[in-house]
Copies of this chain bind each other. A is one copy, B any other.
Amino acid sequence: MTMDMVKELRALIGETAVLDAADVATRSAGAMRPDNLQGAALARPASTAEVAAVLGWCNAHNVAVVPVGGLTGLVHGADGSADTLMLSMERMNRIEAIDSRQRCATVQSGVVLQTLQEAVEAEGLIFPLDLGARGSATVGGNAATNAGGNRVIRYGMMRNMVLGLEAVLADGTVVSSLNNLIKNNAGYDLKQLFIGSEGTLGVITRLNLRLWEAPTTRNMALLGLEDFASVTALLKRMDRDLGGTLSAYEVMWQDFYRLVTTEPAAGRPPIAQDYPYYVLLESQGADPEGDSDRFAAALESAMEAGLVVDGALSQSESDCERFWGLRDDVEQVFRDGYPVVFDVSLPIAEMEGYVAGLRTALAEQVPGHHLLVFGHLGDGNLHVIVQVPHDQGTALRPVVERIVYAPLAAFKGSVSAEHGIGLEKQPWIGISRGAEELALMRTLKGALDPRNILNPGKVLPPAP
C-alpha cells in the first residue's frame, strides 16, 4: 500500500515531488520539536491543480492527509503517522501580486510570513500579522490556524486580514473565493470555514491578503505597575488616549520579567525587578513631530493618576527592539525545567483571581514548579507556562493541564486563544465548547469531508 501510494502519487505530480517514508523520517517535526516527521509519504505539489489531484486520489483511496505549512505550530496539529500522507505546501511559495493602490497581496499558501512582510514593506505597506515564528511559519498555516500574535489589538487576527482564498476540498474540488474586496455579502462567507479549522475542512492553496499603510512613527514604554486593577485601568485609558494608534499592550508578570532580564538571559532590566506587573506599551502613528509628545503626555497623565509607578520610554528604534526582545525571549522558559505551555483567554475581570487560583493549586499539587505568566492582555490572552522538573514532565503534564484548564469553564474562557487545538488540546475542548457546538462542528466536518481524510483526529474529539 505504502509503495503504491508513493508510486501512484509520483505518477500524478512527478518523481521528485513525492518523498517516501524513509525520506519523511529524516525531516524535523518542527523548530520546537525533538522528533522527526512521520508519514507514509510526503507530497510537495507545485500548483492548485496538483493539490487537487493528490486530494482526489487520497479521497478515492481513503488515505488520511495531514496538511503541512511551516511546522511552527505548538499543538501537534500537523502530526502524521505511518499511514498518512503529509501534504507540504513548501513549493507553493510564490507572491503572485502586491497591489499598493488596492492595498492587497495575492500569494500562494506556502509563502513564509517574514518573506511577505519584507516584500510589502518595500512598497510602504505592512502585513501586520507578526509572531515569533515569522521566519518559518507560512501564511497558509497562519490562515489555517487563525494566527494571532503581537498586534491583534490594532489589526485583529489573521481572520481579519484575509480578503479571499482558494481551498481544495477533500474530494479534490477547488473552491475559489479569491477576491480583493473588503466588503462582499454575496452569499455565505465561505473563507471563514477554512480559516482556523486547522486543515480539517480543506487545504488552503492561495490567499488574497489585506495590507495596510505603514505607520511612520513608533513609541514604546516599559512600565511597572503595583496591582492588577491598574493594569486593566491603564489599558482602557491608553486605548482611549492614544486614539487609534495603540498597537500593543503586552503584560509580563514579575516572575517572567525577572527570568528574561537576568543572566543567563541576554536582556537586562530597563526598570527595577520588584513590581508585580510590567506593561509593554506600543503606539504606532504618522506624525513624527507630535506623536512622541502625545505618547509622553498620555503616560504622564496615567502616572499622575497613580496607575503607573515606574517606566522607561523608548528613545530610539533600538530601544523598541530591546523592549520587544524581552517580551519575545520565550526560549528562557525552556531552561531549568520541562515547560508546559498554555495559551488561554478569559475575561479581564477574571484574570487576577484566575492566576491566584493557579498559584494555590500548583503549590498544593505540583512540587518544584515555576509559574510564568505573560501575554497579549489587550486581547484577553494569557500565555501561562508551568515549568516542572524534567524527569516528571510526562507524569505531571495532565495534572498541570487540569489545573490550568478546569477553572476556565466557569467564565467561558478558551483553552486556546491563538495556538489552536490540534491533538494536544483536543481532550480539553469541552471546557470551552458545549455539546451542541461540538455536534455542529461534527456536522460541518461530515458535510465537507465525509470520508474523514483531512487531518483526521485533530481538533474534534470522537463523537460521544
Contacts and interface: CB of A to CB of B under 8 A. Distances in A.
A373 interface: no
* Interface residues of A, dominant DSSP: loop
Interface in A396-426: 412-421, 425
Contacts of A236: 100-101, 103, 213
Interface stretch (A36-44, A55-63, A171-179, A322-330): A171-179
Interface residues of A, number: 99
Q: Which of the listed residues A217, A245, A429 has the most CB atoms from chain B within 10 Å of its own CB?
A: A245
Contact of A421 (B187, B245, B413, B459): B187
A105 B217 CA distance: 33
A443 interface: yes
Contact of A196 (B189, B212, B291, B447): B189
A295 B187 CA distance: 38
A305 interface: no
Contacts of A10: none
B177 A437 contact: yes
A49 to B, nearest CB: 14
A437 B188 CA distance: 9
Interface string A165-197: 000010001111111111111111110110111
A381 interface: yes
A66 to B, nearest CB: 18
A263 interface: no
Nearest to A237: B213
A156 to B, nearest CB: 7
A421 B188 CA distance: 10
